[in-house]
Chains A and B, each alone.
Chain A
């Protein structure tokens, strides 16, 4: 059974290679091949899952060694895979939701002349993300980690004839590289400390404590902070969040893939996987919860101000991942709930993005919600599935998001002390704001009067329901949005499944669970009501009002790009320009002077041979001098 683990990665990887190298012959059915291979990988995942379920809960870690990757004295990096409850959860999410997104893309990209290449990149994305979650050491994880970065670069910039898409792709890669730097340094720290960067020896496995227990808290804090930096990059957490909004330049299925099943979840995986390190480094954990809390509010505020449906959803992703990071930073109180929210979010966010894509599909690729309105009658399936995703994300009682978000808010309070109150209140405010901006999206898109505008070529939109390949995945994801949370929460089944890997503690909450649930629900209803009052009761202006300073800042992503530009880009360009000048004038000037002297002595360097002969003659003369001088000198030393 273990040998199925490499096949999880191999199936989509083979698809990517075939589609990229296969040429035009594959144009006709390449997209179906890619979808089939994604589904095959999901099949392998299910087989492995049933195998794990058949084992004793404490012995569900299986490894598979393939070959020695980088063997150098004292340094050992292997191609070894590990599957346990945590990676299994990710495998099923990645391949399951990933396959649905493949299927959806068959319809969505039907008219794109480079469709074969698009599916190759989708397959590559799955393969990289799967490698990331089944790697058994940090360096192999890094392989998958950067592979995800590459795949996202290719997909965000898929329409690279658009300068904005090419810029967004590059930005995503480079911001992510800053995070990757953190992961590199973390691995170097581990190697210097433990002589290894494999999971088992450092983190411990199946009851045996790992090397992390012997290391000093200072070292572990340093490792933890570097891992956090890495997580901030991939998961778009403050201060490395700036790539996420621009990444909407990619085709919509890509947004669904990045935001739901892959990429942004990688940071949460990394922190949860490294729980043994974070549990022993409280300062690093504090940094994690602060990053999570700040990002959950940051993303929510940005989400309220965007008129572009995809960017509003992007703000929401940032915010929801903030919840997960916050939970992961709480330690054993929160790990399992971070992952649970990650999975339910995977369903409803994928559904919301696919729904947004379906709306765009019917609206001549319009993304401005102020140009939507009243679409529920024209796109009933999209309306219902998007609506269920909406109810799930705002945490409407009974739906998926209700169970998972509520648990995180409870866990935040359970942190205890002032810290617990602050985190809990942040999470509650976040819940209210989430309800506000998601209701805004819902109302602007599906309700109210039509505000449709003709596109650039003057074609009026004729909204219509999308084809079956697109609606079927949306319906399936809607099922997940509705039922997954309840299923996971029933009898604490999800918690029990993950507990052997992540551990679990109850914490000591100052509030009863029921109180938290009621508060959360009240906050959610307040957010919905406010949004309805603002957007549902009076006509929505097609041209956005000027807005308050906060709104204006939020429209510009709370000035993140202005900040980066002022602090990094401008000084960086100035430095580069100075150095270019210095290199050609200062440093080189000296040498040029020398060359000119030689040239001047013997006329201008008109012909190549001349320069050569003179230089060489000069050096022979110099050589003789040197010979004599050193012989004399070395005798005397």
Chain B
């Protein structure tokens, strides 16, 4: 039994403790040491997550590199880890983004100027901020690797705690005196929504255990339960399965978030620092969509099929609604948040279309949305930190004074509107085509999303970056080396995965097949199939 997975989880967890324990102080050198330690830990985590993805054998067993330690024996709860292609890819995404977020947030948690008595407001701010980020990373990675339902639940819930403090405790400097109140409101709203979802899920987790135990499966082990469900050895009554499905799904739909459970997201992303906003939308929320694929489809195949059309409609509403709301925003970060709501609609639509294109597309979408939104949001954060305002109307003509900033922001915008050649196009098109083959009408309406995405992304670019140079913008410096080091890898990955996504699809495809066969679903066959050789070699 290799300990690779637990090491990948343990490194950031230990790093969080270490960072928090570093000597506090207001001197620049102490802060820099703290940041360096945290960044170093996240780099090691990245290497480990990459090794996991590289070691994963796409055509091997469903779950690989498995580990299991007994935990609460009387309830059959174990600390079990294992990875499939989807989990490997998403954990890697997390590990890629966290160092970027840290670098981008380098000065976000520096203590403010000393007070009149020469003391600082909070001397442990820097330590806390970076330790919290590592804690989130550890918990998210455990969630992607967990193969025990209860273990997953615990970490799914626990990550709310560090996220809560990140949102409530650290804002960008754009807010006025109102901002502390706004921020704490956003943090509480985030917590309430997600706790409510978590409670419902807890009920379902217990319910599942009760039902399974009655039939001799007193375990929380996901592979055991899923294969028992698939073989018919574990039979849930129709009502029970539907109730349990809804219990799990509700929690995931709050986190993802799916319309109409989305309203916490714009507040949270708007008030938090840009780095935290990226953690929310690109990392933590992905656990929700990932869990739909793994738990909802794997454990409740019949209910998944029953509810799929209704969920698709909600997802579709989310796509259009999120995009329309994004068009109407006055605040840059809230605009990005509504755009994300639209994108989560696409991801959920891809999952519940129950086709291999849809699900492969949805998985790639999680990765691509993570990369592209991170680039977009972090550059927006750089912009906001320069001007001290989140209002779109306060900007104009940035392109003239800071062309590199404007250029990278444009690339982020183009990725968001899914321009071919950039990664999000691949996933968005797969989701659309995968939905269309089963539900043509839904696929067609969803296609309107591509027009609306162009509208909100380019409107934002036009209003902030073009036109005459506004007063507060005139002396704005261009991107610094540190900021460029954040954006450049994200842009490079977005381009690479747009032109050559094969390394990802190779990892993801077999896991998607396995998921689909659990649901007993096959792709709709074309009416008049033709040989798809395309003049080249067949794959």
Contact = CB atoms under 8 A, between A and B. Distances in A.
B360 interface: yes
A160 B458 CA distance: 13
B206 interface: yes
A70 B501 contact: yes
Interface stretch (A60-68, A294-302, A472-480, A490-498): A60-68
Given A166-B467, A170-B458, A191 B535 contact: no
A615 B263 CA distance: 18
B536 A78 contact: yes
B263 A588 contact: yes
B399 interface: yes
B325 A580 contact: yes
Contact of A622 (B199, B214, B400, B421): B199
A70 B430 CA distance: 9
Contact of A608 (B168, B237, B263): B168
B275 interface: no
A177 B210 contact: no
Nearest to A174: B454
Contact of A214 (B237, B500, B528): B528
A148 B513 CA distance: 36
A136 B325 contact: no
Interface string B239-274: 110010000000000000000100110000000000
Contacts of A139: 429
A634 B243 CA distance: 10
A36 to B, nearest CB: 24
B466 A192 contact: no
A616 B202 CA distance: 15
Given A184-B429, A608-B184, A612-B187, A198 B534 contact: yes
Given A63-B535, A174-B455, A181-B451, A166 B512 contact: no
Contact of A583 (B325, B361, B533, B537): B325
Contacts of A634: 206-207, 210-211, 240
Given A177-B450, A611-B184, A74 B263 contact: no
Contact of A63 (B207, B437, B536): B536
Contacts, number: 277
Nearest to A144: B420
Given A160-B465, A579-B325, A192 B437 contact: yes
A145 B420 CA distance: 9
B509 A631 contact: no
Contact of B530 (A194, A575, A580, A615): A194
Interface string A174-188: 100110110011011
B461 to A, nearest CB: 8
Contacts of B214: 635
B523 A73 contact: yes
Contacts of A161: 397, 399-400, 466-469
Contacts of A185: 436, 443-444, 447
A43 to B, nearest CB: 25
A167 interface: yes
A633 interface: yes
Contacts of B60: none
A595 B181 CA distance: 14
A163 B462 CA distance: 8
B324 A615 contact: no
A626 B361 contact: no
Given A67-B500, A193-B527, A201 B533 contact: yes
A441 to B, nearest CB: 31
A210 interface: yes
A201 B204 CA distance: 49
Contact of A71 (B260, B397, B539): B539
B535 A136 contact: yes
B519 to A, nearest CB: 15
Contacts of B400: 161
Contacts of A215: 527-528
Nearest to B208: A634
By CB atoms of chain B within 10 A, which of A146, A583, A588 has the most? Answer: A583
A282 to B, nearest CB: 20
Contacts of B189: 591, 595
B67 to A, nearest CB: 28
Interface stretch (B84-92, B190-198, B471-479): B190-198
Interface string A413-429: 00000000000000000
B534 A170 contact: no
Interface string B437-454: 100100110011011001
B81 to A, nearest CB: 25
Contacts of A72: 356-357, 360-361, 430, 505, 509
A32 interface: no
B468 A68 contact: no
B206 A143 contact: no
Interface in A129-162: 136-137, 139, 142-143, 145-147, 150, 153, 157, 160-162
A546 interface: no
A53 interface: no
Contacts of A146: 419-421, 425
A65 B399 CA distance: 39
A626 B429 contact: no
B321 interface: yes
Contacts of A579: 321, 324-325, 328
Contacts of A166: 462, 466-467
A76 interface: yes
B456 to A, nearest CB: 10
A194 B426 CA distance: 20
Contact of A576 (B191, B210, B327, B447): B327
Nearest to A142: B420
Interface string B477-512: 000000000000000000000011110011001001
A533 interface: no
B1 interface: no
A184 B432 contact: yes
Contacts of B448: 181
Contacts of A143: 420-421
A576 B164 CA distance: 31
A563 B356 CA distance: 42
A548 interface: no
A564 interface: no
Contacts of A580: 325, 328-329
Contacts of B426: 70
A626 B203 contact: yes
A605 B509 contact: no
Contacts of B40: none
B192 A605 contact: no
Contact of B532 (A173, A184, A198): A198
Interface in A565-605: 575-577, 579-580, 583, 587-588, 591, 594-595, 598-599, 605
Nearest to A608: B168
B103 to A, nearest CB: 21
B532 A201 contact: yes
B192 A177 contact: no
Interface string A491-535: 000000000000000000000000000000000000000000000
9 contacts: A75-B433, A145-B420, A177-B454, A198-B535, A211-B529, A576-B325, A608-B184, A615-B192, A634-B207
Given A74-B356, A191-B433, A199-B534, 18 more contacts: A68-B539, A76-B534, A145-B420, A188-B432, A191-B436, A191-B437, A192-B436, A196-B529, A200-B533, A202-B530, A211-B528, A579-B328, A587-B263, A591-B189, A607-B184, A608-B168, A616-B195, A631-B210
Interface of A: 63, 65, 67-76, 78, 80, 82, 136-137, 139, 142-143, 145-147, 150, 153, 157, 160-163, 165-167, 169-170, 173-174, 177-178, 180-181, 184-185, 187-189, 191-196, 198-202, 210-211, 214-215, 219, 575-577, 579-580, 583, 587-588, 591, 594-595, 598-599, 605, 607-608, 611-612, 615-616, 618-619, 622-623, 626-627, 629-631, 633-635, 637
3 nearest interchain CB pairs? A65-B536, A195-B526, A166-B466
